[in-house]
Structure 1
């Protein structure tokens, strides 16, 4: 399933027809928020203060049915490969800091394709797709420059995961940022990359934010804004979200200051729904469920696009989009086209730019044949099938900042079974149709069985803590141990 692209040939053909400068091919700023819930952004929740994001969304296109995986690593693997998790080996678990592999090197990933098409490629923030050898790292997979961390999470101030540092520029650890809040640090680094970019080349910047993943940490100036919220965990999450908004503001201003903004396509996306557990305090209201679940609250994500090249703006688009679709769509925007007929991702540019109906009519939430009970769900048209466990918590959690909505409605399910929902009529998953529509249930189960036949094997191998320990590499998480 290796992704192949006749990038060089296509690039030459395209450049023979048009002037292949930055005026023809936009800069691409892809911002991936971490654990941002459906109700954790201002345009969905008036108690959230995200003025920069709200303005961009209002002047762009907001996507109402945009999906990702229920957890961090699988979503990133889908974005970078263009394949669903059950086709790229990340259907079972997330990366661990001691996992001695990563996203399969059989895949030629998004920055590599864009680099072949003439783009300068930059990454700032969280990687989470493997680092045990150079070939798995951002620099080994198509990024010209990288500033950020390899593992799934860390302290926002010390930049340590546990006892050891996880922060570097390219391959060099950066021990000099202790005490600098990562939202501010990453804003500065991204702005510096913009400032030093060769304006004659198109830019792809992947700003993969640590915000608003745990631990809950934020400077007091952000926390004070939400003193009206009694729940301290939720107050911190809201402050972190505003800090994230300020990060985006700094980066956008850098694009404007250096003359790139009018030709920049910005995509903002969350990697999964918010974790609603106490002490993590994301919110997906009115959707059901949490991060790490197959409910809509774990998988339907905040997503909008902004850019002057969009032909239709200022509205909410109800077309179905999955995170895998951004791979072929951005390659198309960059002047190339994929010749990989097996790729799950679809080119949705006409949906994004013109408001045309989405070519996507179905997708896989997850298919995991290793677990018992199974952890599987698919969407076909208006209908969603959950087969086996969906994950917990499965509650409907109103935002604590709005006490007019009442308390948590318990939806916990501890026994595995099969459920069917019409997601268009019932996006909050309250009305199980499995008994009322046996023919539709049988049809969906048959489609699930058909899809299961193409499952890609899980490639995780036993963890090797001693070999991977940063004690062997000067105190920083580093490649070179597998």
Structure 2
């Protein structure tokens, strides 16, 4: 699709191609109501590529990558004058700009909207609700860590040394409250009994540098722009009373492209109707802890910044070729959360959380207890994975054994014992390389200036999908 590389900026004429069908479009075919709350970030140069034209019945949120936590604005460099910015509101209810909400905290707005959608939903019809929070990402100008009361946050989290990290902790805690409130609402509407809830991160923390949020991917190596585990290993939790097996940790290889066939299958669809896709149906993996059919996955091929990565052998071996920005984020970063002044992990907060209390109402036979929580946490604890070996940038080709070295401390590329692994992964890589769609030129268009649209980020062209070809025909609006 040509969307690999640096993410979309507001004002770019790039988007998810119209010939690529989305999950909400597929689920609507199965009778679902579909709603998006929060971030879109798949293009907005024209109305045809925005959420309510791509399968969502409603959208409440922003079209770009991030906005201010309170002012809901976004700024990007003026392509005609780098000393100035294009600045405008990026917050809408469907297509209506939400100027009246300026000054209100975005996490609470999103939570309230999601709860309202659940409250008003006709339960005779299935629901697909996607909530993409801003929380965790920086806000205004790519630096803001907005919280309702900074002084209270600094007092509450005073055991954390950095003030900015205290703000980060508070905004994540507010998001956690949002999740609990939403699960409680599902329980109240008696919808939780037939729900599948997935909570996950899309990339690792950006402890420092561009869009610095002071988060931590400890103990992994690298930050969000890299292909090291600290940048790409996703964490998540999935819950459903429909699962045959509960309270387990899965280390199976799963990719975000697997969500479409998995949820389409769960919704009653025949995945053969999806045609040729990259994703695998992982329902048996997540519901019964079965072995995945996926053996490898492409992490990325950035043909502009010249770095790439691929996982193979059921996720054991990772082959990297080059590093983002000459290895600028190739180190180890972030707080462990295990310092002498840090408070102990509070199991009671988990057990008494709104989410757990709602779940226990419908699953009295599978109570979560302190011992089970501790056992699960122990399974995912890899704190001892770092070694004292000298750090290397990995600006050329590197091979890592993630089963035995998840912190990527040892480069095995010249190890004779794994030369066949290197050869096989190179072959896979070159197979993927043949299918790469070159990245479109990244540029902000002058006609996108929010000043032209009452200081709001708005579509500035019309995209008409040709029936004979998948690319766009653009008609500039006069």
TM-score bin (small chain)? 0.7 to 0.9
Distance 1:274 1:112, change over 3 A: same
How many corresponding residue pairs?
392
1:185 aligns with 2:94: no
C-alpha distance 304-400 of structure 1, shift in aligned 2 (>3 A): closer
Q: Distance in 1 between matches of 2:298 and 2:10?
A: 27
Q: Give 1:108's match in structure 2, choosing from 21, 29, 54.
A: 21
Partner of 1:426: 405
Equivalent residue runs for 1:372-387 within 5 Å:
374-381=306-313, 382-387=316-321
Aligned to 1:479: 459
**Pairwise CA distance, 1:458:** 2.3
1:215-230 superposed matches below 5 A: 215-220=144-149, 221-230=152-161
Partner of 2:329: 393
1:289-438 pair list within 5 angstroms? 289-339=222-272, 340-371=274-305, 374-381=306-313, 382-390=316-324, 391-399=327-335, 401-403=337-339, 416-436=395-415, 437-438=418-419
SS of equivalent residue, structure 1 residue 176: helix
2:437 aligned residue:
456
Q: What is the CA-CA distance between 1:217 and the residue it aligns to?
A: 1.4
Q: Determine which of 273, 280, 305 is the counterpart of 2:204.
A: 273
Instruction: State TM-score, norm by structure 2.
Output: 0.78
The residue that corresponds to 2:42 in the other structure is 129
The offset of 1:398, in angstroms, is: 4.3
Gaps of 5+ in 2: 76-86, 139-143, 341-382, 463-478
Are the equivalent residues in 2 in contact too, given 1:123–1:147 (CA < 8 A)?
Answer: yes
SS in 2 for 1:317: coil
Match of 1:159 in 2: 72
State how far apart, in whole Å, the 2-side matches of 1:422 and 1:441 are: 11
Contact 1:290 1:392 in 2 (8 A): no
Cα 1:413–1:431 shift into 2, 3 Å: closer
1:159 and 1:106 map into 2 onto residues whose CA distance is: 31
Larger Rg: 2
Q: Tell me by how many angstroms 1:408 deviates.
A: 13
Structure-2 change in CA distance of 1:467 and 1:383 (3 Å): same
Aligned partner of residue 227 in structure 2, secondary structure: coil
Distance change in 2, residues 1:195/1:168 (3 Å): same
In angstroms, what is the RMSD of aligned CA positions? 2.2
Counterpart of 1:65?
none
CA distance in 2, matches of 1:130, 1:294: 24
* Greater RCO (CA < 8 Å, at least 6 residues apart): 1
Range moving further from structure 2, 321-330 or 216-225: 216-225
Q: Give the deviation of 1:198 after TM superposition.
A: 1.1
- Equivalent residues of 2:214, 2:334 under 8 A apart: no
Using the TM superposition, give the Cα deviation of residue 263 of structure 1 relative to its aligned residue in structure 2, in angstroms.
1.2
Alpha-carbon shift at residue 467 of structure 1 (Å): 0.9
- Secondary structure of the structure 1 residue equivalent to 2:178: helix
**1:138 paired to 2:51:** yes
With over 3 angstroms needed to count, the CA separation of the structure-2 counterparts of 1:415 and 1:252, relative to structure 1, is: closer
Runs of 4+ in 1 over 4 A off after TM superposition: 404-415
What's the TM-score once normalised by structure 1's chain length?
0.77
| Offset, 1:409 | 8.8
Aligned to 1:209: 133
Residues 272-295 of structure 1 show CA distances to partners (whole Å, capped at 9, x for unaligned) of 111121642110111111101000
CA distance in 2, matches of 1:428, 1:292: 16
- The reply on whether 1:197 has 2:121 as its aligned counterpart is yes
1:137-194 CA-to-partner distances (Å, cap 9, x unmatched) read 0001010011000111111011111331111101101111122111111000111111
